[in-house]
Structures are given as structure tokens and as C-alpha cells.
Amino acid sequence: MSKRPIIVIDGFNLLIRSFVVMPTMNENGEHNGGLYGSLNSLKAYVKRFRPKKVIMAWDGPGGSKKRQKMYTNYKSGRKIPRRMCRAYDFLSIDEERKSMYFQLDRCKEYLRHLPVAQLKLENTEADDIIAWVSHYYKDEEVIIISTDKDFYQLINDHVKVFNPITKKLFSCDEIYSKFGIMPKNFVLARALDGDKSDDVTGINGIGLKTAIKMFPILNDDVRLFPVDLIEYAQNIGINKNKRYQKIIDESSKVEINYKIMQLRDPLISSPQIAKMIDILGHKANISVPKVRSMFIADQLWSQIKNFDDWVLNFVPLKEK
């Protein structure tokens, strides 16, 4: 296993966090927190982890369709977070959305001139791409950068998850210490708990801690499936805890939630895999003059004070 890891970043997770919390504006008075925050964070990750390769994963057009076929309410109510901690007031929600997507597209344009591989597939979510990448580089150390707990299920002896808010790097030991559960069964416990961020409802009255307490088999270092939980609930008997009967009665919901939330078997076709392998096979390159001209056009000098220092962090990623 190499000393220099491969880092794979949840692109929209990065952009939206910066867009929501960064109060920065350029000299024209236009909000640019999403762009500035993303670029500055990317530099920080490269500086911290000294990776051999950086991959940015994006949701493709129609990314939610596959899971919405399983569960129609999946991500049905998702909106731009309203926790705006900035001194910039948009005239309307539509104006705010336009600004976000402009900054998103501009961020992608910067990455095209930096040594960063970008992966995006039609009708495919970034989650599946990240899961596939973590499997593909099975002989390398992989660090997933996201605040999304869905990725905890992918943690093993060569995959870790870095939370960019808490700055904590999660390994198998950290997940077990924090939740009392093995990573490979984390998604099964969440199938009972549900996921409000994706509009996936769980079993009423059964949260993550309760699920782990009710099913000690989740602590085993063996991958389990919904049928194993149902069998356990049936064997324990409803006399011990009526919640077991509730799970048995709603077993179909548990199974659907698991299918929606599991990433061990990514929802990606063979042609899509071939496309990603081709992209990852391209040599990473950097165009400092192009990035500099974009930097000047976007008036980023008031936020990123030293362009030369910022861009030099990416030069070691260039492949000969």
C-alpha cells in the first residue's frame, strides 16, 4: 500500500458547504463563497494528505432516477440549505440558485486545468462513483472526503473517511468506538433509522442507537443483510421487545431502505465503468497560466492572497 493516498472528494458536498457558510464577495459585490471555499479547501486537502491522485466525483444528470424508481420520495424535498451565515442577501431564491450553479460550473472549469480527475455519469449519483473508486483502488490507501455518513459503510483496512467539518479521519476503529458497530453493517442500522437528508423514512421509534442495541449481531465483522435482521427479530420474539414485531411488520421498508442506501454494490453499468477507467488513465496535468487568468477574471486575490503559493500545492500531482 502506497504512503501517498488517493483522495476522492464528494464534489457537491464540498461546493454547497462553502456556498452556505462563506460570506466572501468579489470586488463587484458578487457572492463567491462557494467557489473560493471549494478551491481553498481543495488546496488544504492536498497540503494535508499529500496524495498521489485527486478525484472529484459529481452527481450526473438524472442522478437520483435509479433510486427514485425504488422509492419515489427519494430526495423529493431536497432544497438549498437555508443556514446562510453570510452578509450577502440574495433578492430571491431563484437568484440564489443561479449563483450557486454558476459557482459550481466555474469550480468544475478550474478543475479541468488542475491535476484533478473529475468523474460524472448520467443517471448516477456521486455516492456510487465514490464507492466504485474505493473498490477500484483496492491496493491503495483511499481517503473519502465528505460529511455524508453514507460513506462510513465503505470503511475498511484501506478506505477511510475524512469529515471536513470536524477534521476527523474515520477508520474501522473510530467507527466502532463512536457507534459500537462495524462499518460494513453501518448501512443496515441506518436502514432502520432512515435518512432525513434524502427523505428516506425509517422505522418509527427506532433510531441508530436503538437499532445497534437491539441487534448486537451488527457488531460482528461479517456483512449482514435485511433478512438477517428479520430472522434475528423473529428468533428473539415480540415478548422481549415489541419493537421487534414492528420491524417484522415493516420488513419491506427495511429492505427498500437498504437497497437505496447501500454502496457496497454501486449502481453503475459496465459501459460507465469503462468510461471512468479511461478518465482515470489520463495523465494528470496542470495549466498554471490558464488557472492564473481565471483567478484574475474572478477577482479572487482579495480572498486567496498568494496565488503562487496556492497553485504550487498542486504541482506535485502532475504526472510525467
- One pLDDT digit (tens) per residue for the chain, 320 residues: 458 999 999 999 999 999 988 878 888 888 899 999 999 999 999 999 999 999 999 999 998 889 989 888 888 766 665 555 445 566 578 888 899 999 999 999 999 999 999 999 999 999 999 999 999 999 999 999 999 999 999 999 999 999 999 999 999 999 999 998 989 999 999 999 999 888 899 999 999 999 999 999 998 888 999 999 999 999 886 666 788 999 999 999 999 999 999 999 999 999 999 999 999 999 999 999 999 999 999 999 888 889 999 999 999 999 87
Report the C-alpha gap between 263 and 156 in whole angstroms: 13
The C-alpha cell that represents 188 in the structure block? 443496515
What pLDDT sits at residue 85?
A: 45
What residues have CB less than 8 Å from 303, skipping those under 6 apart? 24, 32, 36, 40
- Model pLDDT, residue 301: 84
Q: Give start and end residues of each alpha helix (H) in the chain.
A: 11-21, 33-49, 65-70, 93-112, 126-136, 172-179, 186-193, 208-214, 226-236, 242-249, 251-261, 270-281, 288-297, 307-312
Judge if pTM exceeds 0.75.
Answer: yes
Please name each of the domains of the chain with its CATH number.
6-179+264-315 (3.40.50.1010), 183-261 (1.10.150)
User: Which of 121, 119, 149, 125 has the alpha carbon at shortest distance from 137?
Assistant: 119
The rounded distance, in Å, linking the Cα atoms of 105 and 38 is 12
What is the reported pLDDT for 255? 95
For residue 171, give the nearest of 143, 149, 211, 137 by alpha carbon: 143
pLDDT of residue 87: 52
- The pLDDT of residue 95 is 85
- Give the pLDDT confidence score for residue 1 in this predicted structure: 44
Q: What is the pLDDT of residue 43?
A: 97
Residue type, 106: R
Q: Around Cβ 91, how many Cβ atoms within 10 Å? A: 7
- How far apart are alpha carbons 176 and 219 in whole angstroms? 8
SS3 (DSSP) at 223: coil
